[in-house]
Amino acid sequence: MIEVAVVHRQGGFTLDAAFTAGGRVTALFGRSGSGKTTLVNVLAGLLRPERGRIAVDGQVLLDTAAGLDVPVHRRRIGYVFQDARLFPHLDVRRNLIFGRRFARDAAGGASLADVAGLLGLAPLLDRRPAGLSGGERQRVAIGRALLARPRLLLMDEPLAALDEARKAEIMPYLARLRDEAGVPIVYVSHAVAEVAQLAGTVVVLSEGRVAATGPAAEILRRADLFHGRDGAEAGTLLDLRVAAHDPGFGLTRLDGPAGSLSVPLLPQPPGTPVRVRVRARDVLIARPPVPDLSARNRLAGRIVAVTAEGSGPHALVEIACGPVRLTARITRQAAHAMGLAPGQEVVAVVKSVAFDSDTIGIAGEVEV
Amino acid sequence: MAYLLARGSFRGRAVLDGLVHLPLILPPVVTGYLLLLAFGRRGWIGPALAELGIVFSFRWTGAALACAVMGFPLMVRAMRLSIEAVDGKLEQAAATLGARPAMVFLLVTLPLSLPGILAGAVLAFAKAMGEFGATITFVSNIPGETQTLPAAIYTLLQVPGGEAGAFRLTLVSIAVSMLALLASEGLARRARLRLGA
């Protein structure tokens, strides 16, 4: 459990953020300049806020009212920086064990072999940081932070400096980290895809303030929280399981409470929990009976709400498909012409090609 | 000292900075005279030190002290520049991994600024070897005790027929300087290679 309430002024910028979060991965989400990095620097103790209180698992790390400020090196908060910050004069192995000697009980916790296995670092141990790719550096940085036995791991946009291929290479490691390392994570990002795939709880920062906080599925459906082009990324998170593969057509069927989806072939074996983000803009609404369409994913449901996005061209339609609420973003004009209204039976249609590595992630156990 | 001046922020930093660098600017003879005033047999702290068995005046120890005082600012300057060049972000990273400030210095700052520290040491060595004014003022020019290389060369040139000896000493100076430069270059290159730069 992380409890944060801090106020800090820096030039013309004021950070005034308060939130509490449990669970394994908390995402700090917001566009550049929203105060995400300032906030994690305050958490780590690299920046002393004007006032505030920070506690992790009941242990108070900062309480300006009580004059308490635990110094950085005794906070036991691991920090994975955007730019990795490996020590250039040490090889990968020595970088990894750097924090080990300072950990209070060096014997306990994950061993070098465990962490190297988890992050695929074994072939890199004798290399020097200067010879590593960006993705490899980031993995070493994560391993280094883990081996210092932190009570909390901060990750400040660890993928931001990487190209798409490297991002895709690291995502599975991050999912394993979340599921296997047993350390709560605060993950800073401005990328909807990363947040959707990793986070249980999302804290949205906007101009130094917390604009919203809640479970990832609830936050990510709210297009109003996203700026500019990110609005198009808003959607519904569905927790599904791999049901069957169809290698002949190159498809995988996923089952869940809302129904079945077919998506491009996944490598995961049947039974694997996956989390799929259905972007609101990818959802069509049809009235049954549905004619012969090329889009194969059809989820039957009932309209719960139709909301116009101000006087803009779009409207959001919320559809209850079993226990799940799917959001569709259609034109206001279409909603008007079809006479869509709450209570009507409709079918939500999604093209299989709307799903890719950006929208499908390996889910952890569902967080409560 | 170099770390203090590079990363410290405290009252009187500018004054300390000035004091350290003063011998670089002052005429060496003035520095030597000040040393004489301080550490001389009837100086400010000379008698107290003499009771402890530490005597600087007109001994080789005095020559060494004069050279150290003259070389110190050069060394501090070079080290300070190289410490300032160490990325503070790496020091932050070390702190988040649980390293106390002393350990951060020992394990990160110091190894990363090694090339500059070596360069500083060589500069100080060169200054010490060439030291003339402060030494001669402080501890005079006693052969075998307080005579530095330039002082010896100067003495030889004052007597008729001393040119040959002076020339030999000149060759020695060149050889020692060259060796020191090569050694520092080599060490610095190895340090840079280790950083993979």
d(CA A77, nearest CA chain B) in Å: 6
Find the Cα–Cα–Cα–Cα dihedral A308, A310, A313, A319, rounded to 10°: -20
| A44/B96 Cβ within 8 A | yes
Span A224-246, pLDDT tens digits? 777 666 667 788 888 889 999 99
Determine the average pLDDT of the residues in A302-308: 91
Give φ, ψ of A61 to 5 degrees: -105, -25
Cα distances from A249 to residues A47, A355, B126, in angstroms, run 54, 15, 78
Query: Mean of the per-residue pLDDT values for chain B?
Result: 78
ipTM of the predicted structure?
0.75
Structure tokens at A340: 């869509």
pLDDT of residue A367: 42
Residue linked to tokens 């449990």: A22
Instruction: Spell out the residues 6+ positions from residue B89 whose beta carbon is closer than 8 angstroms to its own.
Output: A81, A83, A85
Q: Please, what is the angle between helix A112-119 and helix A134-147, to 10°? A: 150
pLDDT of residue A196: 86
d(CA A145, nearest CA chain B) in Å: 7
d(CA B152, nearest CA chain A) in Å: 44
d(CA A40, CA A187): 9
Chain A residues lying within 8 Å of B87, measured CB to CB: 85
pLDDT of residue A302: 94
A282 and A351 in contact (C-beta within 8 Å)? yes
d(CA A364, nearest CA chain B) in Å: 27
pLDDT of residue A348: 92
pLDDT of residue A317: 92
Span A181-191, pLDDT tens digits? 888 999 999 88
Residue A366 clears pLDDT 60, i.e. is over it: no
Span A105-117, pLDDT tens digits? 655 667 888 888 8
Scanning A249-278 for CB atoms below 8 A from B yields: none
d(CA A216, CA A323): 17
Q: Please, what is the angle between helix B60-85 and helix B13-25, to 10°? A: 130
Determine the average pLDDT of the residues in A90-99: 91
pLDDT of residue A106: 55
Give φ, ψ of A46 to 5 degrees: -75, -20
| A87/B194 Cβ within 8 A | no
Q: What is the pTM assigned to this prediction? A: 0.77
| A148/B97 Cβ within 8 A | yes
Q: Does A87 touch chain B (CB under 8 A)?
A: yes
Q: Please, what is the angle between helix A134-147 and helix A164-180, to 10°? A: 20
Determine the average pLDDT of the residues in A200-228: 84
Equal CATH topology for A2-221 and A236-362: no
Structure tokens at A63: 């309480």
Number of other CB atoms surrounding residue A113 within 10 Å: 10
A155 or B162: which leads in pLDDT: A155
> Chain A interface, mutation test: which of B86, B91, B97, B104, most A Cβ atoms within 10 Å?
B97
pLDDT of residue A107: 58
Domain A236-362, CATH class in plain words = mainly beta
B188 and B115 in contact (C-beta within 8 Å)? yes
| Long-range Cβ contacts of A365-368 (<8 Å, 24+ apart) | A365/A179, A365/A273, A366/A239, A366/A273, A367/A23, A367/A24, A367/A200, A367/A201, A367/A215
| B196/A131 Cβ within 8 A | yes
Determine the average pLDDT of the residues in A8-16: 89
Determine the average pLDDT of the residues in A129-148: 90
Domain boundaries, chain A: 2-221, 236-362
Structure tokens at A45: 């103790």
Residue A297 clears pLDDT 50, i.e. is over it: yes
CATH classification of A2-221, choosing from 3.90.1300.10, 3.40.50.720, 3.30.450.20, 3.40.50.300?
3.40.50.300
| B89/A85 Cβ within 8 A | yes
Cα distances from A230 to residues A43, A189, A308, in angstroms, run 27, 13, 18
| B112/A88 Cβ within 8 A | yes
pLDDT of residue A368: 34
pLDDT truncated to tens, each residue of chain B (197 aa)?
666 666 666 666 777 777 777 877 788 778 878 877 777 767 677 667 766 666 676 777 777 787 778 778 888 888 888 888 888 899 999 999 989 888 898 898 888 888 778 877 887 787 777 777 777 777 777 776 777 777 778 777 777 777 788 888 888 888 888 888 888 788 777 777 766 54
d(CA A241, nearest CA chain B) in Å: 38
pLDDT of residue A187: 94
Query: Mean of the per-residue pLDDT values for chain A?
Result: 87
